Amino acid sequence: MMAANAHAPSGAPALEVIGYSKRFGSFAALDDVSMKVRSGSFHVLLGENGAGKSTLVKCIMGYYTPDDGQIMINNREVEIGHPRQAHAHGLGMVYQHFTLVPNMTVLENFLLSRPHVPAVVDWTRERAELEAFLAGMPFTVPLDSAVADLAAGEKQKAEILRQLYLQCRFIILDEPTSVLTPGEADEVLGTIKRMTRRGLITVLMITHKFREVNAFADAVTVLRRGRLAGAGKVADLDNAAMAEMMIGHRDVKQAVDRVARAAGTPVLEIDDLRATDDSGQEAVDSLSLTVHAGEIVGIAGVSGNGQRELIEVLGGQRHAVGGVVRVHGEAYGATRAEMLRHKVACLPEEPLRNACVGHMSVAENMAFRRFDQPPNASGGIWLRRAPMRAAARALIERYRVKTRSPDSPIASLSGGNVQRAVLARELSGDVDLLIVANPCFGLDFGAVAEIRAQIVAARNRGVAVLLVSEDLDEILELADRIAVIFEGRLRHETASCGADIGVIGRAMAGH
């Protein structure tokens, strides 16, 4: 028999949330939010980072208990105090990151996720039942492949099928396409869309991407700072209206307009670079690239195609296996002397993990580049903390870093402020080459705009910028030239104006 769910409604359920509120300490993550998801609809939950989307979904799934409010399924009030109860009501969630066990087969994974796994498994019968189940589904997955061997799109499909197998007919998708190529995303979402049309399931999807809303969604609910900012049918709303609901009215500096300029001299030249990942597998494979002064070269690609290793080699955190990196025509080994001489700055992803020491103060972290230079050091030996702190105060003010004092440990700052502090450190000096990786990951809208503006401003000053980002929109917005990385190789290189998104998307998928 299949996973039994006695209470699970048979058709696609309707769900309504009325007046949900959730506080964490003095911070209202949700404030009187109501949302109505019709049976068999494809409903999108829109909002910036921190708008309360995840909190709302976690309340629905029983991970949090809301302080106030009710939830109705098929117009009957229900109580969900635990994830198990949510499952019993047919609510299932597909997370942003895969939760299947990679080295087990799809069949084993499906069986494993059942609430009650029998002590002795009759594999022949289970397989027959699963095959019968899959036959009734609009798409299928290979049952005997290890999950690790599946492509990202197939994994995502397996995650969705698993929820259906567990009798969930209301499926919550948390940014399901962030790990997929555009082609894969369209295919998965298109299939889901058809399933909602047939009344098989109801879908609530969290996303940032308007393109997906326009192409697939029936209705949308928009949250802003924990409150309901608007809702409606997608057909009645245009992008400008949704953007306004999402962002509201606020003063945010727009990205600095790019100054048209001729390509300068080559600053960074990468020639036939090869590097391995932590397990010794080839991660960067014969990669060659040149970045000129005054241009931003964007490297697009789905995560895990060698971007991390490339950045680590350029930043001095990993040894290359082969190839040459030259800056200003000289061989570059990322030593401190070379960084100083060639004016290289680096803004790695997750700056707290990659570019800061959490327990050291904001002032000390801001001095990492210049602590051994005058005026911070006399004779290159004796540390002078007063100029260090004075410089930090100026940077804190100029880059609007929110900290209680320059002496607070940098780990006590919020993510956006750590990012600002690192940006201040890297851009405050004289810079010729800036290496940036996923600079806006996990930041809110205001911080993103500011950081992007700083990067463009650096380019306008004549800095050569190498931007590695998994966010294609970011690359399209910032880069002068775009290269696509796939399995450690550059597959496609194009000027950004007149770039063909279709070609870029196919290159990201390795075509």
Partner 1 sequence: MIARDVAMAEPEHSPAHAEPAAAAVSIAGPEIVTGAAAGPSIRMAIDDRWRQAAERVAVPLIALAASSVVFGVFLALVAQVDPLEVYGLMYQGAFGSWFSLQNTLVRAAPLILTALCTALPARLGLVVIGNEGALVAGGVAAASAGLLMHGAAPIAVQLVMAVAGMAVGGLWILAAGWLRHSRGVNETIASLLLTYIAIALMNHLVEGPLRDPQSLNKPSTAPIGEANMIGNLPGTDVHWGLALGVIFCIGTYVLMRHTTFGFAADMAGGNVRAARGMGLNVGRLVAVTCLLGGAAAGLAGMIEVAAVHGRANASLVAGYGYAGILVAFLARHHPLAIVPVAVLMGGISASNGLLQRRLDLPDATVLVLQGVIFVMILAGESLYGRIRLFQPRGA
Using CB under 8 A as the binding rule, the residues of this chain from 301 to 320 that contact partner 1 are: 315-317
Interface residues for partner 1 in 59-78 (CB under 8 A)? 63-64
**Does the footprint of partner 1 cover residue 348 (CB under 8 A)?**
yes
Q: How many helices and strands in the chain, by DSSP H and E?
A: 17, 22
Nearer to partner 1, 97 or 249 (CB): 97
Candidate residues 415, 457, 471, 487; the one interacting with partner 1 per rule CB under 8 A: 415
Residue 316 Cβ vs partner 1, minimum distance, rounded to whole Å? 5
**Does the footprint of partner 1 cover residue 402 (CB under 8 A)?**
yes
**Does the footprint of partner 1 cover residue 346 (CB under 8 A)?**
yes
Please report how the helices 501-508 and 182-197 are oriented relative to each other, as an axis angle in degrees rounded to 10: 100
**Does the footprint of partner 1 cover residue 177 (CB under 8 A)?**
no
Q: Which stretch in 26-34, 66-74, 236-244, 450-458 sits in contact with partner 1 by CB under 8 A?
A: 26-34
Interface residues for partner 1 in 364-383 (CB under 8 A)? 364, 368-369, 371-372, 377, 380-383
Give the bridge partners for 7, in sequence order. Answer: none
- Give the other-Cβ count within 10 Å of 81's Cβ: 10
Nearer to partner 1, 167 or 419 (CB): 419
**Does the footprint of partner 1 cover residue 32 (CB under 8 A)?**
no
Per rule CB under 8 A, count of chain residues that contact partner 1:
77
Interface residues for partner 1 in 89-118 (CB under 8 A)? 95-97
Cα angle 302, 175, 350; round to 5: 60
**Does the footprint of partner 1 cover residue 356 (CB under 8 A)?**
yes
C-alpha–C-alpha distance, residues 77 and 382, integer Å: 69
Nearer to partner 1, 141 or 433 (CB): 433
Please report how the helices 385-398 and 415-428 are oriented relative to each other, as an axis angle in degrees rounded to 10: 110
- Round to the nearest angstrom and report the end-to-end CA distance of the chain: 42
Interface residues for partner 1 in 235-264 (CB under 8 A)? none
Candidate residues 233, 359, 461, 511; the one interacting with partner 1 per rule CB under 8 A: 359
Q: Which stretch in 214-222, 290-298, 356-364, 449-457 sits in contact with partner 1 by CB under 8 A?
A: 356-364
Please choose, from the candidates 407, 379, 381, 413, the residue with its C-alpha nearest in 3D space to the C-alpha of residue 392.
Answer: 407
Nearer to partner 1, 21 or 49 (CB): 49
Candidate residues 12, 29, 33, 204; the one interacting with partner 1 per rule CB under 8 A: 29
Q: Which stretch in 71-79, 161-169, 342-350, 496-504 sits in contact with partner 1 by CB under 8 A?
A: 342-350
Interface residues for partner 1 in 3-22 (CB under 8 A)? none
**Does the footprint of partner 1 cover residue 26 (CB under 8 A)?**
yes
Residue 24 Cβ vs partner 1, minimum distance, rounded to whole Å? 4
Nearer to partner 1, 426 or 480 (CB): 426
- Residue 375 corresponds to which tokens in the numbers above? 């005026």
Where are the alpha helices (H) located in 136-181, listed in sequence order? Answer: 152-165
Cα angle 374, 375, 378; round to 5: 65
Interface residues for partner 1 in 216-235 (CB under 8 A)? 225-226
**Does the footprint of partner 1 cover residue 53 (CB under 8 A)?**
yes
The arrangement of strands across the sheet holding 330-331 comes to: 282-292, 266-276, 322-327, 330-331
Residue 446 Cβ vs partner 1, minimum distance, rounded to whole Å? 7
- DSSP character at residue 166: T
Candidate residues 232, 446, 462, 510; the one interacting with partner 1 per rule CB under 8 A: 446
Please report how the helices 182-197 and 152-165 are oriented relative to each other, as an axis angle in degrees rounded to 10: 20
Going by their DSSP bridges, the two strands 68-73 and 91-94 should be labelled as: unpaired
Residue 127 Cβ vs partner 1, minimum distance, rounded to whole Å? 31
User: Which residues 6+ apart lie within 8 Å of 347 measured at CB?
Assistant: 355, 422, 423, 426, 434, 435, 436, 437, 439
CB 193 within 8 A of CB 42: yes
**Does the footprint of partner 1 cover residue 334 (CB under 8 A)?**
yes
Candidate residues 98, 133, 139, 445; the one interacting with partner 1 per rule CB under 8 A: 445
**Does the footprint of partner 1 cover residue 51 (CB under 8 A)?**
yes
Please choose, from the candidates 205, 255, 239, the residue with its C-alpha nearest in 3D space to the C-alpha of residue 56.
Answer: 205
CB 369 within 8 A of CB 316: no
